[in-house]
Amino acid sequence: MSLWSEFNASSEDQWIKKVLDDSSNKTAQDFHWKTEYGNINTFSKAISVLKNDKKDKLSEISWNFEKEKNINSQIFNRLKDGINSIHIDGINYADSIFKNVMNDIIYSHIMLNHNASKQAISSWTDWINSNPNFKGSIRMCLLTKIINSLNEGDNSIDFTDYQHHFQSNLNTNFKCIYLEISSKHLSFNNHSSEIALIGAYLNEVIEIHKKNNIEIPKKIILKSFLDNSFLENISKLKAVKSIINQVLKIHSIKANLIVETSLNPEILKDKSEDFRILSITSTAMSSFIGGSNSFVLSDSLLISKENYWKKIAANIPLILNEESQINILKDVTKGAHVIEQISFKMADKAWRMLKQIEVNGGLLKNLKNSNLKEFIKN
């Protein structure tokens, strides 16, 4: 005999009736959550509509370094604070950068300048090849190159340096397609238009690889900037992974998708240090729950340049990751109907925008014709 057999089961309709009876002069529609993606029915059952193969776990807490001055000592200070990953952004190779850094333990990600010379690329690839235990990646943002070329009036974009990056003797495990879209590249109105642009960007990069006989790597890295919208951050990560996987499926490409997240520094303008620390906390938490593989911090997220504040910023994701145990759970959002609905509506809207971009010639053609905004309207 079941312990609960003495209790009568309540149907969904009975629960809704009970809520409405206890809420005078209200209808079911009054409890709907109104969002830019449509009304979210708070009474609906949770249905997992976005099929992502797996819930990724956060493995890297990173710090992005953009200045060469004292970079080795800066790296060691951040490593003492608990980070386990280093991002070198647009800095030319020098022997002193990784002096005494254990590259077999610490992840290192090298961002090449979009106009990097063959010599600059070779310096980094030679160093990586000389370190057999190197863990990380080397990447170049192709969109930055495209945007800069178009701004300079050059519609015949030269992909020679990008091609050389992939045709170098670098181990294929470290090559990747790197996706990053922010306001420094393109303007977008909401998360759906951002996701649509990411999908169109990935499709364009794949076509460029095919046309120029560039190998398509087995690693896709997405850098996504988050804001203070906790639930929408989680939904955005679930939605964008779904769109990327769909684009890869269309091209019959099997690749490992790695998602890096960071707090968007633009929302921190004129904000206090306390606000920034709270924002880092909220963003880190939504990043972990959404299935990010890496959370990236940088000096630009803080006002003070003192190590004290940098240590606090680095310790926040470290404590959340190690002590909350969110990372050991398969998917904490599965069955959360609000997040499931927002994710689906966000992805559905993005997919319709993406199809409009592709029907009208793709990302590159619409960038050249300045027609892109027509397809990513609200």
CB neighbour burial string for 343-362, b if at least 16 within 10 angstroms, e if fewer: bbbbbbbbbebbebbbeeee
pLDDT at 255 over 50: yes
Give the list of residues 6+ apart from residue 29 with CB closer than 8 angstroms, or none: 39
End-to-end CA distance of the chain: 56
Helical H segments across the chain, by residue range: 12-22, 71-80, 118-129, 142-151, 160-167, 191-211, 230-250, 273-290, 307-323, 337-359, 363-368
| 366 has a pLDDT exceeding 60 | yes
Indicate whether 99 pLDDT > 80.
Answer: yes
* Integer Cα distance of 335 and 52 in angstroms: 14
Confidence of residue 6 (pLDDT cuts 50, 70, 90): confident
- For residues 228-249, give the mean pLDDT: 94
Query: Per-residue confidence at 53, pLDDT binned at 50, 70, 90?
Result: very low
- DSSP calls for 276-330: HHHHHHHHHHHHHHHT-SEEEEEGGG-S--SHHHHHHHHHHHHHHHHHS-GGGSS
Measured CA to CA, the distance from residue 241 to residue 287 in angstroms comes to: 13
Q: Which fold has domain 60-375?
A: TIM Barrel (3.20.20)
If one counts every other C-beta atom within 10 angstroms of the C-beta of residue 315, the result is 14
Report the C-alpha dihedral over residues 365, 368, 371, 372, rounded to 10 degrees: 70
- Res 189: pLDDT: 79
Average pLDDT over residues 189-202: 92
Over 80: is that where the pLDDT of 261 sits? yes
* Between residues 231 and 183, the one the model is more confident about: 231
Extents of the domains making up the chain: 60-375
- Judged against a pLDDT cut of 80, whether residue 257 lies above it is answered with yes
With bands split at pLDDT 50, 70 and 90, how would you rate the model's confidence at 324?
confident
Q: Counting beta carbons within 10 angstroms of the beta carbon of residue 326, is it exposed (0 to 12), middle (13 to 18) or buried (19 or more)?
A: middle
Q: Compute the distance between CA of residue 172 and CA of residue 169 in angstroms, rounded to an integer.
A: 9
Name beta bridge partners: 296: 62
Give the span between the Cα atoms of 222 and 177, in whole angstroms. 8
**Quick one: average pLDDT of 355-369?**
89
pLDDT classification of 80: cutoffs 50, 70, 90: very high
Mean pLDDT of the chain: 86
86 in Cβ contact with 106 (< 8 Å): yes
Lowest mean pLDDT among 119-123, 146-150, 185-189: 185-189
- Note whether 65 and 87 are within 8 A (CB): yes
Minimum mean pLDDT among 13-17, 55-59, 62-66, 331-335: which range? 55-59
* pLDDT reading at 46 higher than 60: no
Query: And the tokens for 322?
Result: 């190690």
Q: Tell me, what's the pLDDT at 157?
A: 79
Per-residue pLDDT tens over the stretch 273-314: 999 999 999 999 999 899 899 999 999 999 998 899 999 999
Q: What single-letter amino acid sits at 1?
A: M
Confirm if 375 and 360 have CB atoms less than 8 A apart: yes
Task: For residues 83-87, give the mean pLDDT.
Answer: 94
pLDDT at 333 over 70: yes
377 band by pLDDT with thresholds 50, 70 and 90: low
Model-level pTM?
Answer: 0.86
226 within 8 A of 286, measured Cβ to Cβ: yes
The secondary structure of the chain in percent helix, strand, coil, rounded to multiples of 5, reads 45, 15, 40
In percent, how much of the chain has pLDDT > 70? 91
Residue whose structure tokens are 């992939």: 166
